[in-house]
Structure 1
Amino acid sequence: MDDELRALSPADEPAALLDEMVALREGIVGAAEPWLAAQGATGADARLTNLAHYMALRRRDLRALQRRLMRVGLSSLGRLESRVLPTLDAVTVALAALAGRPIAAAPAPDGDAFFRGEARLAAETDALFGPARAARRGRIMVTLPGSAATDPGLILDLARRGMDIARINCAHDDAAAWRAIAAHVRSAGEAVGRRLTVLMDVAGPKIRIEAVVPERKAKVQAGDAVRLTAAGLPVATPEAPFCAVVSLPAIVERVRAGDRVRYDDGKMEGVVERTAPGEAIIRITRTKPGGAKLKPEKGLNMPDTDLDLSPLTSKDEGDLAAVVACADMVGYSFVSRPEDIDLLEAALARHGEAAARLGIVAKIEQPRAVSNLPDLIARVVATGRPFGVMIARGDLAAEIGFERTAEMQEEILWICEAASVPTIWATQVLEDLVKDGLPSRGEMTDAAMAARAECVMLNKGPHAAEAVTLLDGMMGRMDEHIFKKTPTLRALKSW
């Protein structure tokens, strides 16, 4: 790389870079056209056009070009997610001035044009989540427990501390409880003088543990065998002293020897050793230190198994009546293909005009959802609905592996910013604080980095209120330092 930097003299570098930038822009516009045509998008659709340009740009390795631009004091192109062509045009115009050559390319964009993508993202965020608070850009979402149905004071306290969005998980409780919680959220918003919004997650085909044996405090260790059964009561055997019934019987028929199985967001992992009608034997290869307990309601992930499950279950379709009546947004679990958006749209259409205002939050939990994310975005943008993406890091980590989770969450943030789609940073934010009242150093750093998203989600727990207070202040301070990936260069006073 150093040889590349020394290849041209400082006098010749701007002219060479100018030629490269002109060719780069032309190549990106051309490469974006097939995807835009496939989506039925027109040049007037600024969100999808910028997204297409961003994908075309990021399929190229620009590292050497970045460093050469840095050497002549110009943009490194590293923060252009919301403004691909405006950034390329601005750099090209500057290079032309340095090279002393007129160019036929577009003129440098004015301030409004250059930052129009940021304005679009802010408008889309307001449309989905409601207006931002004066003290911070990002919103705070809190998952509410079922007890909130009979405890309006809990919701009011969260609202006073800074909660902006209440999340109701439709995998738990019932429509009567959800309606009571939503009513308390509306009342709390009136009491604090600002609009609070409601997200209701339909459960989807979440694979969960149901009944287990043994029920005592025995823990599964690496090397143990766990028997998964499709139905009936769990029965331990000498070969497999741990047994669990699964919530979706079909998965036991679909797994094959060698497939990996992960339990409770990766707290335990095993491999299918063998299968028989109605059961599968899992040999445990890894657990958290000290082992892990099998518990009802905990989730299973099977990253190697093609389960071919519809993301919208019959239960979900029944739950949509309450969602339409109570919520501002529906959280869509296990969405992975554009056709899944059509499935939800068809189900919502059965609820008439009342469902037309509902926003959609796609929960990105599977590798296929990551690879199809641009197409998912395009399909929802075509509906005109408010739309956001939840980076569901628990299931995503269990599917792709912990070692790639940080990388993938960054790529999701970038793609969504390019399309002006607000994001939710979810799963285990300030988890130790929420559960035990004392945060770890690592999760404090994670929470600070979460401020790059448009919303941060906290799980339910006995200390959720303290976590809201901490996050409210932290997000406000981080806003002074960084916007998305861009440092804002506030004056520092630490030394």
Structure 2
Amino acid sequence: MKTETLITKLKAIYDEILRLEPLSEAISKTVHPDFRPSSRNLIRYLVLRDHDLRKLHDPLSDLGISSLRSAEGYVLTNLHRVLHLLHLLENKPWPKRKEPSIIGYEHSKYLIRTHSNLLFNRPPSFNTHEVMVTMPEEAADDLQLIEKMASNGMTIARVNLSHGEEGMWLAMVENIREASRKTGKDLRIYMDLAGPKLRINFPEGVKSLPIREGGTFALHKAPVDRNAFDKARAAEDGQLPVPVQLSIPGVIDALQPGDQVFLDDGMIHAIVTESGGETAVVKIVKTFKSRLKPDKGMNIPDTVLKLPSLTDRDLETLPFVARHADLLGYSFVNSEADVANLYERLDSLEEAKPGVVFKIENQNAFNRLPMILLEGMKHNRIGVMIARGDLAVEIGFNRISEVQNEILWLCEAAHVPVIWATQVLDTLAKKGIATRAEISDAALSVRSECVMLNKGPYILDAISELRTILGRMESHSSKNRNALRPLRIARKNLEFLEGTPMAD
């Protein structure tokens, strides 16, 4: 490609960014002062990624010029300098003009580091990855376990409010604070709001249920009678649907025949065959497990739901979170309106405000991520968690790598720290030995600011191994380089910002 052609194509993108600067400036005035440059860079990045840049990279590299592959954090500066160099090669003047507020490479690194320090409540000198670990139930009684976790490299203790009750959570908090004092390690506490998570409930005392392909469940709104449950399990032909209760009864009204149902992080795939009234029947079409335990999650990606991101239970536990947590995980956030609602609730409390992490767990949240970020930027302690378990089931396992990359890019453009979560070194934590794929995945997590491990009997080994991997990769990697095809999410959010409603 000729240099003149490169100039023409890049100049068109540059001019489009400048055209939207009044909008960027107006939006920047609505966010927290700490995020004003970042909000403008995010909008510039949306403009950049609305274009197909793939054919520009190789010609730029041949000329020894940046190929825009790592421009997320400083879009306009990068583009400006590339155009300047191209003009010099053509012996053409690059006209001096009053440029809008710009961010350079070093400033972009400073912003992401500063925002990370604010979110994670850590000193400016901190220069490595956070390691978050989910607390097992025994952490409420076993202080030494938490001390060992801290000594092995854990910096953030995660208390999952989807399980247990306030007494257990408080005991965990007290042990975490004591472990921090005794070890001299700066442990911070992260708490997940449960959110509208769909779960399957069995009658009391039932520990697991045998399942097979072709078997059926009857999802009930009301608690299930144990006799009816046992009768269905004992049916010789296996065709009598086993009755189970759905944790959010109103969802049954939204289910339609043909809707897909996934259980236990996608390990069980079923289809709705009947719906109406108090129940819906689903048939298992594929399973990778022979038994289903109670309280496992359920995903219904085909079904349109209108559920509030903050449930009644979340609102009840919010004061406890504000009193005891350094970080709050906002589960199943769907839109910028959900973000505004959470902060309105937090502002009504007298307690200190924890940092807020937006958990991206479904298609809606991913589609509206730029808007969620801009709304969150009205406050200065925010982050994003790539909740890869629910997200993979919702969008499809074949898309999770692509989508997690897009989330990383958008957050880097916004200078918002990212938590890399779900099944990191999971086999190691549970069985004592890691798979090769897990090691590769853990190495990729260096692109985030924090990595989350789940619980398991070998969790101490998993923490140590993750620290080793991150320590080695930190000297090799800093964020990413990519081909940069046009992103649909960029176009949709630009249309929304410019006043055209964004279709769901």
TM-score under structure 2 normalisation? 0.88
Report the residue type matching 1:432 in the other structure. T
Post-superposition CA distance 1:2-46 (Å, at most 9, x none): xxx4xxxxxxx3333233322221112325655765686589921
Which deviates more, 393-402 or 203-212? Answer: 203-212
1:436 aligned partner: 431
Looking at structure 1, the residues matched to 134 and 205 of structure 2 have their Cα atoms a distance apart, in angstroms, of: 31
Structure 1 distance, partners of 2:218, 2:176, is: 43
Q: Which amino acid aligns with 2:290?
A: A
Q: Distance in 1 between matches of 2:90 and 2:104?
A: 25
Per-residue CA distance 1:436-479 (angstroms, 9 max, x = gap): 11111111111111111100000111111110000011101000
Tell me the secondary structure at the aligned position of residue 483 of structure 1. Answer: coil
What is the match of residue 468 of structure 2? 473
Q: Which residue among 143, 150, 159 is the counterpart of 1:168?
A: 159
| 1:32-71 paired onto structure 2 within 5 Å | 34=23, 37=26, 41=30, 45-71=36-62
CA deviation vs aligned residue, 1:371-422 (integer Å, no higher than 9, x gap): 111111111111x230000100111011111111111111001000000110
1:355 aligns with 2:344: no
**Alignment pair present for 1:275 and 2:275:** yes
Relative distance call for 1:362 and 1:257 in structure 2 (3 A) is same
Alpha-carbon spacing, 1:420–1:106, altered in 2? closer, same or farther (3 Å) = farther
Residue 355 of structure 1: how far off its partner (Å): 3.1
2:394 aligns to what? 399
Question: Are the equivalent residues in 2 in contact too, given 1:257–1:272 (CA < 8 A)?
Answer: yes
Does 2:178 match 1:187? yes
Task: State the alpha-carbon separation in 1 of the partners of residues 113 and 27 from structure 2.
Answer: 27
Q: Given that residues 209 and 293 in structure 2 are in contact (C-alpha distance below 8 angstroms), is that contact kept between their aligned partners in structure 1?
A: no
Change (3 A) 1:389 1:460: same
Cα distance change of structure 1 residues 209 and 39 upon mapping to structure 2, 3 Å threshold: farther
User: CA, structure 1 residues 262+347, in 2 after alignment: closer, same or farther (shift >3 Å)?
Assistant: same
Written as runs of structure 1 = structure 2, the 5 A alignment for 1:279-290 is 279-288=279-288
Answer yes or no: is the 8 Å Cα contact 1:213–1:244 preserved in 2. Answer: no
Q: 2:335 aligns to what?
A: 337
Does residue 23 of structure 1 match 2:23? no
SS at match of 1:343: helix
Aligned to 1:493: none
Change (3 A) 1:136 1:37: closer
Match runs of 1:37-436 below 5 Å:
37=26, 41=30, 45-105=36-96, 113-131=104-122, 137-211=128-202, 215=206, 219-233=210-224, 235-236=228-229, 237=232, 239-288=239-288, 291-352=289-350, 354-356=351-353, 358-382=354-378, 384-436=379-431
In 2 relative to 1, CA 241–272 (structure 1 residues): closer, same or farther, beyond 3 Å?
closer
Aligned alpha-carbon RMSD (Å): 2.5
Q: How many residues align?
A: 470
Native 8 Å contact 1:425 1:457 kept in 2: yes
Distance 1:132 1:472 in 2: 20
User: Measured at CA, do residues 161 and 214 of structure 1 come closer, stay the same or move farther in structure 2, by a change above 3 Å?
Assistant: closer
Counterpart in the other structure of 2:449: 454
Distance 1:252 1:36 in 2: 45
Task: Give the Cα–Cα distance (whole angstroms) in 1 for the partners of residues 299 and 441 of structure 2.
Answer: 24
Q: In 1, Cα distance between the equivalents of 2:426 and 2:108?
A: 33
Shift in CA distance, 479/135, structure 1 to aligned 2, threshold 3 Å: farther
Q: 1:335, 1:218 → 2: CA distance?
A: 31
For CA contacts below 8 A with separation 6 or more, give which structure has more relative contact order. 2
Residues 112 and 83 (structure 1), Cα distance of their counterparts in 2 relative to 1, 3 Å cut: closer
Counterparts in 2 of 1:196 and 1:133: CA distance versus 1, 3 Å: farther
Amino acid in the other structure paired with 2:472: R
Measured against aligned partners, the alpha-carbon deviations of 1:281-322 in whole angstroms (never above 9, x if no partner) come to 11112111xx43222110001111122111111111111121
Percent of counterpart pairs with the same letter? 36
State the alpha-carbon separation in 2 of the partners of residues 217 and 369 from structure 1: 32
- Residues 1:178 and 1:69: Cα distance change in structure 2 (over 3 Å): same
> Using a 3 Å threshold, how does the CA distance of structure 1 residues 112 and 391 change in structure 2: closer, same or farther?
closer
Q: In 2, distance between residues paired with 1:286 and 1:35?
A: 48
Deviations 1:73-92 (A, max 9, x none): 21111111101011111111
Give the Cα separation in 2 of the matches to 1:285 and 1:223: 6
| Residues in 1 aligned to 2:240 and 2:92: alpha-carbon distance in whole angstroms | 76
Question: 2: CA distance between counterparts of 1:434 and 1:49?
Answer: 41
Given the superposition, is the C-alpha separation of residues 177 and 212 from structure 1 closer, same or farther in structure 2, using an over 3 Å criterion?
closer
Could you tell me how far 1:114 is from its partner in structure 2?
A: 2.9
Give TM-score scaled by structure 1 length: 0.89
In structure 2, C-alpha distance between the alignment counterparts of 1:36 and 1:433, rounded to whole Å: 48
Between stretches 274-283 and 14-23, larger displacement belongs to 14-23
Is the alpha carbon distance of 1:14 and 1:434 closer, same or farther for their aligned partners in structure 2, counting shifts above 3 Å? same
Structure 1 gap ranges (5+): 6-12, 488-495
Deviation at 1:105, TM superposition (A): 4.8
Q: Verify the 8 A CA contact 1:360 1:386 in the aligned structure 2.
A: yes
Q: Offset at 1:112?
A: 8.3
Distance 1:105 1:189 in 2: 55
Partner of 1:296: helix, strand, or coil?
A: coil
1:212 and 1:242 in contact (8 A); partners too: no
The amino acid across from 1:118 in the alignment is K
